[in-house]
Chain A
Amino acid sequence: MWGTRGTIPTPEAENGRYGGNTPCIEVRSSEDDLLILDAGIGLHWLGDELMMNSFGGGEGRGHILVSHTHWGHIQGIPFFLPMLISGNRFSIYGTGGADSFKDLLLEQMASYYCPVPNFFDDNIGALTRIEEIDEREFDIGSTRVTARRVNHVPDVVTLGFRIEDAAGGSLAYIPDVEYLEQEHRDQTLELAAGVDMLIHDAHQTTDEYPARRGRGHSSVQDAIEIARQAQARHLVLFHHHPDRSDSAIDDLLRSCDSVGLRVDAAREGAEYTL
């Protein structure tokens, strides 16, 4: 896990253990295919590590799955060094809803916002293919990816992902979701059914949620209930609120002690084998 924080990077010391980088998760398949879930600022640090192996020599291949285009989920792209190295190849999958996904990513790189070269141009840096997807199943190496719409806020089409490896191991990644109707729960349940790990939005505490209903995020209680219903084996609380300090996240985890389910809070630097 390279980034676990919701909305905006929070570098303050009291967030140091769980981390302040916005969402980015590295997934390696049994065949060593590289899948990257979301492109928050955590992507920069993953990039630094990738530069030490085949990506530094321009021989890397990676797939970036973007849940949606809110800044916290794409802001790492301009600072992802492997994209500046020619020979590397990337595919970026996501949806722009009514807009073009590619145009939205390009807007972030517009010269008045961003002085780095537009490396989506085939003549600069890596060969980058931007693929507009919606609800869809497709294969990346030894993995099968299922993308489904989930309910976040009305202004942005948001995807959740299920990833299953042919050699075993499965996870669901649903970083931003709110359940206002049964249909919204059903969308997640399809993605998360029986997975080894469910990485799920826990932006609000159960107490905070009522006052923030309608803002597009789940409570810890929502995450626990959906994990139980989906019979996920392991729940990882994700997308921590910017004001949630390490000690507040510790407290939150303790409150999950008796739920009869393995629960972790996503922590930068954590590694799991499924």
Chain B
Amino acid sequence: MCTMIAQQVNISGSGKTGTGWFKLDQLSVSYDHPFDMPLEYALNLDFTNQSGGPGRRVAVELDAASARRLVELIQGVMEQAEKGGFVGNEG
């Protein structure tokens, strides 16, 4: 790995690819060479199911500006959801 900037965290979620939905239990976030974006480095999000093999992956690659906008967006949406009393009542 060129930058060695990568962190993993266990998550609970669902992801969708062309073959349908599957459970997600791990997220890897790295800043390193992307596979598809025409950039030398990108923010790479890999949502995976650890027991499903390497192909059980929802991959997203973002440039740095888009990655920062994503962080702001998520924080903004979560604040709104918390104020509205929706967080913690997911069922």
A and B assemble together: no
